[in-house]
Amino acid sequence: MQSILVVNAGSSSVKFQVFDISERNKPTRLIKGQVDGIGSRPRIRADTAGKKPLIDETFDREKVPDIASALQTAGKWLRESQKVELSAVGHRVVHGGPQYDRPIRVDTKVLADLTRYEPLAPLHQPNNLAPIRALLKSSPSLTQVACFDTAFHRGHDQLADHYAIPADLYAEGVRRYGFHGLSYEYIADRLPQIAPSVADGRVIVAHLGSGASMCGLKQLRSCESTMGFTALDGLPMGTRPGQLDPGVILYLIEQKKMTAGQVQDLLYKDCGLKALSGISNDVRELQGSSDPRAKFALDYFVYRIVLQTGLLAAALGGLDAFVFTAGIGENSASIRKAVVEKLEWMGASIDAAANEAGRTVISSPSSRIAIYVIPTDEELMIARHTLATLNGSSEAAAS
């Protein structure tokens, strides 16, 4: 069975999916799994696309101490148990920098380029690149394709792309990139099928998860994003602060005598909903808590979503539709309700029953803005890009 393996590697887990590529331009999902607890209590789990369990096995910590060994463990199981023959591996890579604006086959030079962007995405980029590095060493002839979260936003107008800083800094790559691009690209692909009447109009997509951002689409293209140079900007997230006055960083360094490493750890690991609530970075836990700090954290999250909606609507010149996606956006009816209620001044109104049921369309008939809930599928986008690259119909370009 000729297949594509899609890999999304984190700090202590490797998520993977297998797609059959028998049909030339249509990858079909077969297996979805992950190896988690890496370095502590490693465990591999996988199901079929129809959610039939295939494996659930735990290993000694020493047998799966890192990302590379986790990938080897998953690969061995796929080969021996599922008879999977890989034609290519597609990887989610968060940051493509100024050079890579579309998927690309990875070799040692590309890997070296992408390693330079690790400081811009320290939670993600090193882990994204670890399995690529391991496979280049163990299977150098296997095609690997890097798919970037920044690529979908690379067509931004220069006004949206720049910071008000010296030109030489922009030239070396200090600019507004935007992230979660694979998610937004999938939503843009689905909109003509789900909402043809608004697909070519002005649409805001809210990717709300542990990492959260929003994107303004016009004619299905990204025009503006809440994230910028790194994945710290914009909305508050599980452990990241979102929009922050740069003076706060100067204060931490000059007055609190924090090192750059300490500031980085604070901003990526100890801010956001975790800091505001003092309880958890998980929205589900906060919603189940009676602590007033939990309510404050959720209210703040909603407030910032609404503020950024106004910003994106201004960039788009109006608003025709709003889409909720990702873990919180797809599953939290209460967050969706709170956001829409605060957008009533724009003419938005919600169908309470449709929202509670998690239907695709949750706006009321009287709403001037169409409101949707559309599950995202970043892995399918990676599989499509990988297959297209394998078939020679997609080549990376340097901008």
- pLDDT above 90: percentage of residues in the chain: 83
| Active-site position among 20, 36, 101, 149 | 149
Give me the pLDDT at residue 11, please: 66
Give me the pLDDT at residue 13, please: 80
- 200 assigned to active site: no
- pLDDT confidence bin for 393, thresholds 50/70/90: low
Q: Read off the pLDDT of residues 112-125 as tens digits, 9 standing for 90 and up.
A: 999 999 988 888 89
Q: What is the mean pLDDT of residues 383-393?
A: 89
- pLDDT confidence bin for 48, thresholds 50/70/90: very high
Q: Read off the pLDDT of residues 144-171 as tens digits, 9 standing for 90 and up.
A: 999 999 999 999 999 999 999 999 999 9
Asked if the model's pLDDT at residue 399 lies above 90, the reply is: no
Give me the pLDDT at residue 396, please: 38
Give me the pLDDT at residue 380, please: 95
Per-residue CA distances from 303 to 29, 59, 242 (Å) = 37, 44, 12
- pLDDT above 70: percentage of residues in the chain: 97
Structure-derived torsion over alpha carbons of residues 304, 205, 359, 329, reported in degrees to the nearest 10: -40
Asked if the model's pLDDT at residue 237 lies above 80, the reply is: yes
CB 74 within 8 A of CB 35: yes
Asked if the model's pLDDT at residue 134 lies above 50, the reply is: yes
Q: Read off the pLDDT of residues 188-209 as tens digits, 9 standing for 90 and up.
A: 999 999 999 999 999 999 999 9
- pLDDT confidence bin for 1, thresholds 50/70/90: low
Asked if the model's pLDDT at residue 395 lies above 50, the reply is: no
Give me the pLDDT at residue 63, please: 87
Q: What is the mean pLDDT of residues 116-136?
A: 91
CA distance 234 to 377: 22
- Provide the whole-model pTM: 0.92
Q: Which of 99-119 are b and which e, b meaning 16 or more Cβ less than 10 Å from the residue's Cβ?
A: bbbbbbbbeeebeebbeebbe
Q: Read off the pLDDT of residues 241-275 as tens digits, 9 standing for 90 and up.
A: 999 999 999 999 999 999 999 999 999 999 999 99
Q: What is the mean pLDDT of residues 351-377?
A: 97
Give me the pLDDT at residue 306, please: 98
